[in-house]
Structure 1
Amino acid sequence: MLKTEFAPAKLNLTLEVLGRRPDGFHEIRSLVAFAKDVGDRLTLGPGRFSATETTGPFAAEIAEGNLVDKAFAAISAAVPGFEFERLTLEKILPVASGIGGGSADAAAALRLMQRTFPSASGLDYSAIGRALGADVPVCLKSRAALMTGLGEHIENVELPGDLFAVLVNPLVSVPQNKTARVFALLAAPPVTIDRVSEDSPEFSTVEQVIAYAAARGNALEKPARELFPIIDTLLSKLGQLAGSRFVQLSGAGPTCFALFDTKRAAESATAELENRHPDWWIRSTRLA
């Protein structure tokens, strides 16, 4: 019997870089949300696992040693005699696009293993996720949250049910060390405290979400523009759409997004962009 697990896209509604730590990593504070119906999908079926089989429009862009295989290796190392079935990844999200694709895939693989194999149910999946990547723990939950530290401190956040987004990726070439290069261009100063804490924000309206995001922004947007000048065009086009309430870069890019307060407005904006820019990757979704 086939078993599936959805790996939703992750959006950084805010991304504050609070400083560079002595270990070279960066202290962040980020409000993240997840797409309800835009993401990759993992399928577990009959057969013996050797490596993840990848299908979908962006399958060819997956490099060897992807995070799904690393997630499997981590579970195999922790559970003696662990055997996995044939695993297929349908790659719908652009690779290295700033919307957590690889991390979401790894998290989905961990969830799939946890619910499929009782022998692996007692493991500390959050710790395994942290070892795989800073975004994996929040992707394990796949729900809106405030991330702090390196991303390991996660506080759940409730978003209003009428928050919609249009995601746009220009499908330009992305270097493998994209995120490191963007952080290098940022040149953040040393962090002055061990850890920044903040009470989780509370939102009852889309206006409150937008006000919160607008006040904090994405610290990586300016350096990312140096690497991907087309970000200026994306943000401009998104801001001109009818019903667009707020536009921003997600993560280290190059995916950008616009927020809307109705599904109809988001879908209409998507159709308009698709007509004007058929060479871009464009999706609309509700955020949660």
Structure 2
Amino acid sequence: MTVEAFAPAKINLTLHVTGQRADGYHLLDSLVMFADVGDRLWVEAADRTSLTVSGPMAGGVPTDRRNLVWQAAELLGVTAKITLEKHLPAAAGIGGGSSDAAAVVRALTTLYNFPVPSAAVLANLGADVPVCMQSGLTRMRGIGEHVDPIGNTPNWPMILINPRVEVPTGPVFQALPRKDNPPMPAIPAEWDISWLAAQRNDLEAPAIAAQPVIGKVLQELRESDGCLLARMSGSGATCFAIYAHDDMRDRALGQLRRDCPKWWTQPTEACGVKWR
């Protein structure tokens, strides 16, 4: 029996860093949604764990226990043959490794027919893994162990762009001028782009300092016709832009691909994900 799983790109619409624990873990308050682009995985029962990686973003991806999908199998106490098809860039702020790990957890608990571990247990794999177990708009708090589904996800035409630079998460957090920033306010029952625009990604400035090209990405997006909001996701370097209409998004996408052909540029819809 083979079980297939989809690992969607995670988009941090907001990311407020609200504190730091004595053990070094940062406290977050983030509004997260998922895109319809991502990686794909297949798992099969096996006497020992193995991992094969293919796809356009397979270069440099570890195929041993350094990979979070391998660690996810170990956390569950099972062995499996795992096949990973990589479409998302690494160290990109869109949860590629964490989403892969969450997908493997879903697939292996289906394969072996046992319950999904709690968010607190899954957080041992990484702060983003519990939220990547969700399928729609979610508020993530603490070190990632508190996840609260919000409800219906807006279907926004969006662009994801990564200038093909990696941004290590640790140094970006370390460069924050302060760690005790204000959390997000209560999310209104009827919220819109203007409310979202008033929020923040506290990691955006230190990530731009580390990789100035991120600032260029945001400028290109913000100057494109029909862009309602552009912001960096996670710790970077991937940025997103929300557009008023599909045709505006598509025109902007075409121009960006002509102007910056070496960048990873993807059209997407931010939507509730069906695990397929």
Q: Work out whether residues 16 and 30 of structure 1, in 8 Å CA contact, stay in contact via their aligned partners in 2.
A: yes
Q: Work out whether residues 59 and 91 of structure 1, in 8 Å CA contact, stay in contact via their aligned partners in 2.
A: yes
1:24 and 1:214 mapped to 2: Cα distance?
A: 29
The one of 130, 146, 155 aligned to 1:162: 155
Q: Aligned residue for 1:50?
A: 49
Q: Work out whether residues 27 and 191 of structure 1, in 8 Å CA contact, stay in contact via their aligned partners in 2.
A: no
Deviations, residues 36-71 of structure 1 (Å, cap 9, x unaligned): x21011023586553211001111221351100000
Greater shift, 123-132 or 255-264, is seen at 123-132
Q: Work out whether residues 16 and 29 of structure 1, in 8 Å CA contact, stay in contact via their aligned partners in 2.
A: yes
Structure 1 residue 161: Cα displacement: 3.7
1:22 and 1:128 mapped to 2: Cα distance?
A: 20
Question: Is the aligned partner of 1:16 residue 2:16?
Answer: yes
Q: Aligned residue for 1:73?
A: 74
2:31 and 2:15 mapped to 1: Cα distance?
A: 7
Question: Is the aligned partner of 1:106 residue 2:101?
Answer: yes
2:120 and 2:82 mapped to 1: Cα distance?
A: 23
Structure 1 residue 209: Cα displacement: 3.2
Greater shift, 241-250 or 210-219, is seen at 210-219
Structure 1 residue 266: Cα displacement: 2.1
1:150 and 1:284 mapped to 2: Cα distance?
A: 30
Amino acid at match of 1:68: V
Q: Work out whether residues 148 and 197 of structure 1, in 8 Å CA contact, stay in contact via their aligned partners in 2.
A: no
Question: Is the aligned partner of 1:223 residue 2:222?
Answer: no
SS at match of 1:156: strand
% identical equivalent positions:
38
Structure 1 residue 257: Cα displacement: 0.9
Amino acid at match of 2:149: N
Amino acid at match of 2:252: A
**Per the alignment, do residues 215 and 198 of structure 1 end up closer, same or farther by CA in structure 2, a change over 3 Å counting?**
closer
The one of 169, 172, 175 aligned to 1:182: 172
| Structure with higher helix content | 1
Stretches of structure 2 lacking an aligned partner (at least 5 in a row) = 272-276
Structure 1 residue 214: Cα displacement: 1.4
The one of 229, 233, 236 aligned to 2:216: 233
Amino acid at match of 2:32: V
**Per the alignment, do residues 58 and 160 of structure 1 end up closer, same or farther by CA in structure 2, a change over 3 Å counting?**
closer
Question: Is the aligned partner of 1:262 residue 2:252?
Answer: no
**Per the alignment, do residues 261 and 159 of structure 1 end up closer, same or farther by CA in structure 2, a change over 3 Å counting?**
farther
Q: Work out whether residues 168 and 255 of structure 1, in 8 Å CA contact, stay in contact via their aligned partners in 2.
A: yes
The TM-score, its normalising length taken from structure 2, stands at 0.89
Q: Work out whether residues 93 and 235 of structure 2, in 8 Å CA contact, stay in contact via their aligned partners in 1.
A: yes
The TM-score, its normalising length taken from structure 1, stands at 0.86
SS at match of 1:264: helix
Q: Aligned residue for 1:79?
A: none
What is the aligned-residue RMSD (CA, Å)? 2.2
Structure 1 residue 88: Cα displacement: 0.6
Equivalences, count: 269
Q: Work out whether residues 186 and 220 of structure 1, in 8 Å CA contact, stay in contact via their aligned partners in 2.
A: yes
1:183 and 1:99 mapped to 2: Cα distance?
A: 16
Structure 1 residue 260: Cα displacement: 1.5
Question: Is the aligned partner of 1:60 residue 2:59?
Answer: yes
**Per the alignment, do residues 160 and 135 of structure 1 end up closer, same or farther by CA in structure 2, a change over 3 Å counting?**
closer
